[in-house]
Amino acid sequence: MPQRIIAVEIAGERVRAAAAERTWNTFEFVGVFEAQKRPDEPDLAPALLRLLEKSGHPDVLISALPSEAVTKRILELPFADARRLHQVVPFALEEHLPFPVDGAVVAFIRLGVEDDRSLVLAAFAHKEELRKHLELFARVKLDPKTVTLAPFALAAMFARARNGARPTPHLVVEAEHNSTSMVLLDKEGIPRVMRTVGLGLVNLDGAPPSPAQVTPVVNALRQTMLAHAAELENADLIITGPGAAMPRVKTLLAEAVALAPREAREFDYSAMFEGARPDITKFGSAIAMLIGEMPIKPVNLLNFRQGEFAFRGRTRGDLSAFYTTAILTACATFLILLNFATGVYGKLHRLSVIDAQIAAIAAPVLNESNPADPMRELRTGIAAMNKRLRLIGGNVARNSPLETLRAVSEAIPARFPVQLEDLQVDATGLRITGLADSFTAVDQVKHALDLSGNFGTIVVTHARSANNANKVEFRMSANFKDAEDGAD
């Protein structure tokens, strides 16, 4: 079930909100909402209730302290260790506080690291201001998980949004009814300046801003331009907030910094949000705060909920309560797998030992070879040795070559007029090639072998007169009786 993420921004006597629905891998933009404090209402709590009726109850709530109530500093510190930053940043800001550091809530975020130096955005607010902010939400039974600074969230969103061109610096101006905030982003998307002037260029009655309102804002913009002229080369001026919809405010700001204003809606936010296209012009800060809860690569926002103000609640869909159970389950699963793997390894080791023993036993037979299957090689070698033994008369009870030669020599005495040139013995019988004095002598050899009783079928396969006179070439085959009986 998706979680509903709602970001609430307090702007004077108005509250604005942006909502999104989050699953484990999607972040769908839902819409924007606004409610205004009525004249008979003592504070913004009733307006917050009306806002929730439109947006729905949040599973995760993000809010922002008013920018004019927060002091910001960008510090460059000569180390990159996060633990030391936590120790040093509050004291580095102490000279800028009009009250003891113990009375302030300090939040910081590291913007970048170069060599052993860290660029840090540090912000501090009075504890009493944060306490009032949380009490306002507590009256409508809400507990913000994150209390951040809206201009920084807005800068982070434009740093991630794609503008369809090569990276360029951005001067982002948020023109509200009661304040004007400005953020300078370099071409890498890193904030270099963040300022808030407690005067707005937008009047509730629609009247044009007075010189008393315009002068401090214009002076702050011009001072920013002069101090960072090199970083503002080819910069884009982006105006958000209610003033973005007023042509005279856009013209005033563009003339003050000599930059052509660019519409915030021209940027591509599809990499951050799915669903409806967000209305960045008026609700930019509230929408930007949502990206701190993206399921994939969320933006690390400033968060004033630290120390005694740390968020200790739970949100629907938050699985942190099950982390211990999950860790124990993972450990048990790991031990089971380890036990299984150990058993398999032990059996494989025993098998390898047996294989080594077989190979050692087979080595005298197989010489120096190291076959993949020594058992098969042994069987093949044994069969070959049996064949050789059979041929030389070993390991054979009858019909061995020695017995066959003895039987032939006894059947054909020396006085027979024949000369044996070749004699071959195999498992089936005898093959004879030779010369005889006549065809009659050939018949006598056949008859003599027959009388020996060792042979069955005896056939003269070839007999003809030789080239020299009075000789007959012949070939004769005689099968062993035992071979014929086995065939039958």
Which residues does residue 312 pair with via DSSP β-bridges, in sequence order? Answer: none
- Which residue is listed with tokens 């071979």? 483
pLDDT at residue 252 above 70? yes
- What does the pLDDT read at residue 129? 92
Confidence check: pLDDT of 459 > 50:
yes
The sheet with strand 418-425 has its strands ordered as 418-425, 429-436, 472-480, 455-465
Nearest to 54, CA basis, from 33, 82, 80, 79: 33
Q: What confidence tier does 132 reach under pLDDT thresholds 50, 70, 90?
A: very high
Q: With cut-offs at 50, 70 and 90, classify the pLDDT of residue 368.
A: low
Residue 76 confidence (pLDDT): 86
Pair 437, 472: CB distance under 8 Å: yes
Q: How confident is the model at residue 321 (pLDDT cuts 50, 70, 90)?
A: very low
pLDDT digits (tens, 9 = 90+) for 180-214: 999 988 888 888 888 888 888 888 777 778 888 88
pLDDT digits (tens, 9 = 90+) for 51-104: 999 999 999 999 999 888 888 888 888 887 878 888 888 777 776 666 666 778
Q: Which of 222, 223, 197 is nearest to 212 (CA)?
A: 197
**Strands (DSSP E) found in 207-336:** 236-240, 261-262, 274-275
The residue-averaged pLDDT of 230-237 equals: 79
**Quick check: 36 and 28 in contact, CB under 8 A?**
no
Minimum mean pLDDT range among 30-44, 55-69, 96-110, 238-252? 96-110
| pLDDT on residue 310 | 92
**Alpha-carbon distances, residue 265 vs 57, 183, 239 (angstroms):** 28, 18, 10
Give the C-alpha distances (Å, rounded to integers) separating 19 from 165, 273, 287: 29, 11, 8
d(CA 105, CA 90) in angstroms, rounded, equals 9
Higher confidence at residue 313 or residue 148? 148
Average confidence (pLDDT) over 266-290: 86
Coil, strand or helix: which one is 436? strand
Q: pLDDT value at position 399?
A: 67
pLDDT at 315 over 70: no
CA dist 262 and 240 (Å) reads: 10
Q: Mean pLDDT throughout 396-406?
A: 69
The pair of structure tokens assigned to 136 is 């306002």
Euclidean distance between CA atoms 275 and 27, whole angstroms = 8
Nearest to 450 by CA among 421, 424, 478, 473: 478
Cβ neighbours of 116 (radius 10 Å): 10
Mean residue pLDDT of the chain comes to 83
Mean pLDDT of 241-265: 86
Domains and CATH numbers, the chain: 1-162+269-318 (3.30.420.380), 163-266 (3.30.420.40), 319-396 (no CATH), 401-487 (3.30.1360.100)
Give CA separation, 105 vs 136, 137, 163, 197, in Å. Answer: 18, 18, 35, 21
- Write down the pLDDT at residue 440: 84
Nearest to 253 by CA among 174, 317, 312, 313: 174
Percentage above 90 pLDDT, the chain: 20
Distance of CA 459 to the CA centre of its chain: 82
Q: Tell me, what's the pLDDT at 167?
A: 74
Most confident by average pLDDT, 194-198, 231-235, 384-388: 194-198
At 395 the pLDDT is 44
Q: CB 296: neighbour CB atoms within 10 A?
A: 9
CB-based burial of residue 437 (10 Å sphere; 0-12 exposed, 13-18 middle, 19+ buried)? middle
Provide φ and ψ at 355, rounded to 5°.
-60, -40
Q: How many CB atoms within 10 Å of residue 450?
A: 15
- What single-letter amino acid sits at 195? R
Distances from the Cα of 98 to the Cα of 6, 132, 179, 219, angstroms: 34, 19, 21, 24
pLDDT over 90 (residue 19): yes
| pLDDT for 396 beyond 50 | no
Half-sphere exposure of 371 (CA within 13 A, CB side): 17
Start-end of H helices in 139-209? 150-160
Q: CA nearest 309: which of 130, 73, 56?
A: 130
Average pLDDT of span 308-325: 67
pTM (2 decimals)? 0.64
